Chains A and B, each alone.
Chain A
Amino acid sequence: MSKVRVLVGTRKGAFVLTSDGKREKWDVSGPHFAGWEIYHVKGSPVNPNRIYASQCSGWFGQIIQRSDDGGKTWVQPGTPRGQPTTGPGGMPKGESNKFVYDTSAETGNPLTTHQWYDGTQHPWEFKRVWHIEPSLTDPNTVYAGVEDAALFRSTDGGQNWQELSGLRGHGTGPKWQPGAGGMCLHTVILDPSNPDRIFIAISAAGAFRTDDGGKTWKPINRGLHSQYIPDPNAEVGHCVHHIAMNPTRPRVLFMQKHWDVMRSDDAGDSWKEVSGNLPTDFGFVIDVHAHEPETIYVVPIKSDGEHFPPDGKLRVYRSRTGGNEWEALTKGLPQSDCYVNVLRDAMAVDSLDSCGIYFGTTGGQVYASANAGDSWAPIVRDLPAVLSVEVQTLSGSN
């Protein structure tokens, strides 16, 4: 019997929601790391019991946590081999929170400046890990997208982190600028057909791709058009909110930009708009059906100044044609007086048949649909504001 495990990061802790394949009755565990912001929690596709979590605080900085038993217990991966994994009181020991930009002469790049909100230049400063992306082949290899924007990699289960500094240092860095949420690298997509290819996205710099395992990078923003920057068609400076890919079609990418829903059929080399009949093409999340690579989902948000659904109606929009033609999915979702937001990493799909769709809101609800969006029901209603949602589809033995 299959089951699903939904990993939820919130403003005040992490929660693990589990159900069998029917996805009707749910067990809720948490809060894990109570009181801390959990930007992202994601499991290894190789070993689903290996889960990484980004725990952070404006006061105390960044912590990386790891579970090797499906989220029941957690450790900081820095505990030296042979030493007890817990300290006085039974709490985990270790050091796994060291993210230092690579400025070494051999492999690194000097820390430059980036553009600040007011157009002046501002030094690069590490703030937090927004997104964790475990390797598709090795449970000990994991990527971290951070603010201020950079990509880090660990090959020892999250204990030590090295920057892939070719991205930050590739030349356009001084033109990158923070979006309203900070200058964050929030999307990391690994190409299942090409281990050397990685896609990333930064607010507000745009999308980038490496074809050599992270050594060199190029912007992939041709076709993006952003009215709010001096040159609307610039190579960088676009506020990309999220990108999604169906693993069976790794050259096809879907993007929710600040405004505009976009698609690329050539691995990001060019983009075209597919917003079509959406009521507004502003939003944060976008995802793709697990089995139908032309079926995509967005949650339209009224505007960049009003981060809530139009008309107080929470509607997921689905396109079965890869964009342009969209239908509103409303059954089970509030259709009056709803003013929540759905943040960029807060939607995910499972791989059961039929495909399950999940999303979390800033009002603390996590909604699930076990029928590809036709109808929805809340798993939980009253969590802290949801920052991220990921789903693991598990076999009976996990």
Chain B
Amino acid sequence: MLPQHLRTLAGVRGDVEIEVEGQATLRLVLDALETRYPMLRGTIRDHVTQQRRPYLRFFACEQDLSHESPDAPLPDAVTSGAEPLIILGAIAGG
């Protein structure tokens, strides 16, 4: 689930479904997302360090995954498609 501005940039409506091989991790999902939508490179993670941009957070299954290892397995409900991985822009400024 992408923030509205990134949906506009990528030209998608609604949620995006991503398939990854093997155990799904945040890194693999973001890699696959950026492969399909190259215009999103640099908008979620820094081009060089691959660190999460400061005003974005990752949530799933009511858990904050922002500070988890990008190589940690995602919750089963996300992997199965039952629950979304939410990329959320912080509410800051006007």
Residues of A within 8 A of B (CB): 35-36, 57-63, 76, 78, 86-95, 97-100
A97 & B93 in contact (Cβ 8 Å cutoff): no
With A63-B9, A90-B11, A100-B48 given, is the CB distance from A95 to B56 under 8 Å? Answer: no
B37 & A61 in contact (Cβ 8 Å cutoff): no
A60 & B5 in contact (Cβ 8 Å cutoff): yes
Q: Which of B10, B38, B48 has the most CB of A within 10 A?
A: B38
Quick one: CB contact mask for B9-31 with A, threshold 8 Å, 1 for yes? 11111000000000000000000
CA distance A98 to B40 in the complex (A): 11
Q: For residue A100, which residues in chain B have a CB less than 8 angstroms away from its CB?
A: 47-48
Q: For residue A87, which residues in chain B have a CB less than 8 angstroms away from its CB?
A: 10-12, 37, 39
In chain A, what residue has the closest Cβ to B36? A87
Interface assignment of B70: CB less than 8 Å from any CB of chain A:
no
CA distance A87 to B40 in the complex (A): 12
CA distance A62 to B43 in the complex (A): 7
Report the minimal beta-carbon distance from A272 to chain B, rounded to whole angstroms: 41
With A57-B5, A87-B11, A88-B12 given, is the CB distance from A93 to B48 under 8 Å? Answer: no
With A88-B11, A98-B47 given, is the CB distance from A93 to B53 under 8 Å? Answer: no
A59 & B39 in contact (Cβ 8 Å cutoff): no
CA distance A88 to B11 in the complex (A): 6
Q: Which of B58-94 contact A (CB under 8 A)?
A: 89-90, 92-93
B43 & A61 in contact (Cβ 8 Å cutoff): yes
From A36, A88, A95, A99, give the contact of B5 (CB < 8 A).
A36
Q: For residue A95, which residues in chain B have a CB less than 8 angstroms away from its CB?
A: 38-39, 41-42
From A36, A58, A86, give the contact of B11 (CB < 8 A).
A86
CA distance A77 to B77 in the complex (A): 38
A35 & B5 in contact (Cβ 8 Å cutoff): yes
With A59-B90, A60-B53, A100-B48 given, is the CB distance from A76 to B39 under 8 Å? Answer: yes
B39 & A93 in contact (Cβ 8 Å cutoff): yes
CA distance A87 to B38 in the complex (A): 10
With A59-B89, A62-B42, A98-B41 given, is the CB distance from A91 to B56 under 8 Å? Answer: no
Report the minimal beta-carbon distance from A386 to chain B, rounded to whole angstroms: 17
In chain B, what residue has the closest Cβ to A60? B43
Report the minimal beta-carbon distance from A223 to chain B, rounded to whole angstroms: 39
Across the A-B interface, give the 10 residue pairs with the lowest CB-CB distance, nearest first.
A91-B11, A89-B11, A60-B43, A87-B11, A95-B38, A59-B55, A59-B89, A97-B42, A61-B42, A98-B47
Report the minimal beta-carbon distance from A72 to chain B, rounded to whole angstroms: 18
Q: For residue B32, which residues in chain A have a CB less than 8 angstroms away from its CB?
A: none
CA distance A56 to B87 in the complex (A): 18
A91 & B8 in contact (Cβ 8 Å cutoff): yes
CA distance A92 to B39 in the complex (A): 8
Report the minimal beta-carbon distance from B17 to chain A, rounded to whole angstroms: 12
In chain A, what residue has the closest Cβ to B3? A59
From A58, A60, A90, A98, give the contact of B9 (CB < 8 A).
A60
B38 & A98 in contact (Cβ 8 Å cutoff): no
CA distance A56 to B37 in the complex (A): 18
Q: Which of B12, B43, B56 has the most CB of A within 10 A?
A: B43
Extra 7 A-B pairs, beta carbons < 8 Å, given A58-B93, A92-B11, A95-B42: A58-B55, A60-B6, A60-B44, A63-B39, A93-B11, A93-B39, A98-B47
